[in-house]
């Protein structure tokens, strides 16, 4: 029995290593961040959109936007990994599909594809369900700045740093650590962002515009820490950006869904 447990543990460790090496970039925002985006959107759905989404997700274990927000990461593999991000050349944040999204294998094209399926009246119920779950997740992904980052450092994954005395990297810092430092409870995080939603200018409801915004954030002075052990000053400098990107992701997702399912 003990031998089987050890064997299973080794198998899981090997599988985790293979998946890590196969994925050009890691997860975006982490489970809590994606739930935050999903809940912000869910709270702002029109009655018609809310009803349509409930119908699409009726067979889900947790049939809500935050409930399905992490699905695309749960089924992620080497084939679907590139759909979670986009890389821009250093110094050029202008989206050029042939260069930045070859073969439609990037988060911008993935969002556009999901929208097309949801608009298609001939799409099956299963196709619409998958498309909605993808849209909820990828809308969160594209707002995480490092998912519009640089191929040279794999979206910050190869930028090592220490955070609170533990080994980490820049991508993981933005995925999880900054959110946890601001507010570790995702539902309370949603509540604190609610007061910041009024009067927010949504801008274009297009994935390419959202990706270019992320690229510009990554290019901003100070985004890459000056040393490998950023402290409270880094959190102070960037916590507002974390709030804005999470809030915008949820608000824009809601606006997009309300447009897709008009009353």
Neighbours of 76 (CB within 10 A): 18
pLDDT number for residue 61: 97
Q: Domains along the chain?
A: 26-260 (1.10.575.10)
The 10s digit of each residue's pLDDT in 39-89 is 999 999 999 999 999 999 999 999 999 999 999 999 999 999 999 999 999
Q: Which positions ≥6 away from 74 have C-beta within 8 Å? A: none
Model-level pTM? 0.89
Answer whether residue 23 shows pLDDT above 50. Answer: no
C-alpha dist (Å) from residue 159 to 24, 167, 173, 199, 217: 14, 11, 10, 36, 16
Mean pLDDT of all residues belonging to the chain: 91
State the Cα–Cα distance between residues 246 and 151, nearest whole angstrom: 23
Answer whether residue 166 shows pLDDT above 50. Answer: yes
Answer whether residue 2 shows pLDDT above 80. Answer: no
| pLDDT category of residue 7 using cuts at 50, 70 and 90 | very low
Q: What DSSP letter does each residue of 8-51 carry, written as one string?
A: HHHHHHHHHHHHHHH-SS--SSHHHHHHHHHHHHHTT--HHHHH
């Amino acid at each position: 029995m003990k031998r089987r447990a050890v064997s299973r543990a080794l198998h899981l460790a090997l599988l985790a290593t293979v998946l890590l090496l196969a994925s050009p970039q890691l997860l975006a925002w982490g489970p809590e961040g994606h739930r935050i985006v999903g809940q912000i959107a869910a709270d702002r759905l029109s009655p018609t959109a809310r009803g349509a989404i409930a119908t699409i997700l009726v067979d889900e274990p947790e049939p809500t936007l935050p409930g399905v927000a992490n699905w695309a990461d749960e089924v992620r593999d080497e084939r679907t990994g590139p759909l979670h991000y986009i890389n821009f050349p250093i110094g050029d944040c202008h989206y050029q599909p042939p260069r930045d999204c070859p073969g439609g294998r990037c988060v911008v094209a993935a969002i556009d594809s999901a929208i097309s399926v949801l608009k298609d009246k001939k799409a099956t119920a299963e196709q619409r369900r998958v498309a909605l779950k993808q849209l909820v997740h990828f809308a969160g992904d594209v707002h995480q700045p490092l998912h519009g980052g640089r191929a040279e450092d794999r979206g910050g994954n190869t930028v090592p740093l220490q955070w609170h005395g533990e080994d980490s990297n820049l991508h993981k810092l933005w995925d999880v650590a900054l959110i946890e430092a601001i507010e570790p409870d995702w539902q309370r995080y949603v509540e604190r962002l609610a007061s910041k939603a009024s009067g927010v200018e949504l801008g274009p409801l297009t994935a390419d515009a959202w990706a270019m915004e992320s690229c510009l954030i990554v290019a901003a002075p100070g985004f890459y820490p000056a040393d490998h052990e950023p402290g409270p000053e880094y959190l102070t400098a960037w916590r507002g950006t974390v709030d804005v990107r999470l809030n915008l992701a949820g608000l824009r997702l809601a606006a997009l869904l309300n447009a897709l399912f008009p009353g």
